[in-house]
Copies of this chain bind each other. A is one copy, B any other.
Amino acid sequence: MNLVRELEQTTIAGIGEDLYSFAASLFPICRSITGDGIRQTLAMIRDRIPLEIREVPSGTSVFDWTIPKEWNIRDAYIKAPDGRRIVDFQRSNLHVVNYSTPIHATLPLEELKTHLFTIPEHPEWIPYRTSYYKEDWGFCLSHNKMLELQEGEYEVCIDSTLADGHLSYGEYYLPGRSSDEVLISCHACHPSLANDNLSGITVATALAQHLSGRSLRYSYRFLFIPGTIGAITWLAQNRPLAQRIRHGLVLTCLGDAGGFHYKKSRRGTADIDRTVACILRDSGEPFEILNFSPYGYDERQYCSPGFNLPVGCLMRSVWGSFPEYHSSADDLTFIRPDSLAKSLRVSVAVIDALEQNRRYISQNPFCEPQLGRRNLYRSTGGESIGTEINARLWVLNLSDGENSLLDIAERSALPFSVIAEAADLMCQHGLLQPVEDLKDGPVVRC
């Protein structure tokens, strides 16, 4: 199996367009951590993969937290003293502070201003703000628009409901030969914001589609969840399952033009950390590896000390570090088909490496086996050898049962895929024997 090669048999350009158009169709929906927006989003993902949609009632205790009331919104606006709708939810769902309580009132400008949010440094952009756990209301608007506001009485209306209901999330479990799992998690709670995180949703969906129907070594679990509370909910209700997670990735901000960033798990030297670093090294794309920190996306929860799961976060530009972050500038012009496609490609290559990575034991550990008589070496002596033969020597030399293919790829500085192909070839010639250490995973025969 070579997942990357199969991915490339379809046109990368076509994949990028598909990812982008899926993001575009999701863009207008007013998502939040609960409510019909995320439900509609999950339904659209289910059109592509057999997602199970879970509903957890408001008030449910999840560790230190409680599932909040469900929030839904139909309309919202601010009318100027002259009656014009100067801020209109119908034009951008970012205009309303997410989770705003309902209100219909008339206020003087001064009082109204205590409920307004702007970004003075980017006076044309509307910020994205939330108030999930403190009941309040507010509007977000461009700084320039706020500066134009004249003294007078303003009519504000937020036609929302905040009432007992459910938290919704989507889960797709793809069983493999082992019950050991790879977790792919992305948040699906942001309204009209493209990079954060329609990019993550679309790449995760396409990754699930690509893996679907294959014979896999690991089992895979895809979570499409509201940020923070969704991860906490899943972990609280699935503590035994969480122990099966051998590797995990949070996918976010994968559509912009920036280079790749991978934030390591709390462990720092987990296989997922080393695998992503190795695949990014091999990719030829610009990238940077970041140390773990406890602020971020749902790796915060997966890497809390009681779980300490080997889950890192794959991004292009880092959330919070690009100016468009959490503003109306993170729109469909900020993400690009080819960025999405390359992000998918890297994700697939990481999965491919996890699937192929194992330890082998040389069947001829004393001196080199004679590759020449097996036609696995160059025929004329005295000349130099190429990368393929070099990779064979590396896997034969280091396959003492201690070193994994990842260890060998790191130490040899050869691409993981070349090392894996060499191991496969040596295995076919009976020179290596694989070691299987996954739970319930039968030893793979060459």
Partner-B contacts on A (CB < 8 A): 62-65, 97-98, 117, 127-134, 138, 228, 231-232, 235-236, 239, 266, 291, 293-295, 300-301, 303-308, 320, 326, 362, 364-370, 372-373, 379-385, 390, 393-394, 396-400, 411-412
Contact = CB atoms under 8 A, between A and B. Distances in A.
A353 B239 CA distance: 37
A304 B366 contact: yes
A365 B130 contact: no
Contacts of A301: 367-368
A63 B364 contact: yes
A305 B117 CA distance: 64
A390 B306 contact: no
A200 B398 CA distance: 28
B293 A370 contact: no
A63 B367 contact: yes
10 closest cross-chain pairs (CB), A and B = A306-B365, A130-B381, A294-B397, A306-B366, A305-B400, A294-B393, A129-B382, A64-B369, A232-B367, A305-B365
Contacts of A131: 379-381
Given A132-B381, A295-B393, 4 more contacts: A127-B382, A231-B367, A235-B366, A326-B383
Nearest to A374: B64
Nearest to A397: B294
24 contacts: A63-B364, A63-B366, A64-B369, A127-B382, A128-B382, A130-B381, A130-B382, A131-B380, A133-B373, A134-B372, A228-B368, A232-B368, A235-B366, A293-B394, A294-B394, A295-B385, A295-B393, A300-B368, A300-B393, A301-B368, A305-B365, A305-B396, A306-B362, A307-B366
Contact of A295 (B97, B373, B390): B390
Given A236-B367, A266-B397, A366-B235, A383 B129 contact: yes
A277 B369 CA distance: 31
A326 B382 CA distance: 7
Query: Which of A131, A231, A368 gathers the greatest number of chain B CB atoms within 10 Å?
Result: A368
A367 B64 contact: yes
Contacts of A372: 133-134
Nearest to A411: B291
Contacts of A326: 382-383
A235 B367 contact: yes
Contact of A381 (B129, B293, B307): B129
Nearest to A94: B382
Nearest to A377: B133
Contacts of A373: 133
Contacts of A304: 365-368, 397
Nearest to A362: B305
A346 to B, nearest CB: 27
A301 B369 CA distance: 10
B305 A370 contact: no
Contacts of A239: 366
A196 to B, nearest CB: 10
A315 to B, nearest CB: 16
A293 B368 CA distance: 13
A349 to B, nearest CB: 25
Nearest to A375: B134
Q: Pick from A98, A306, A367, A390 the residue with the most CB of B within 10 Å.
A: A367
Contacts of A411: 291
A162 to B, nearest CB: 15
Nearest to A62: B367
Nearest to A266: B397
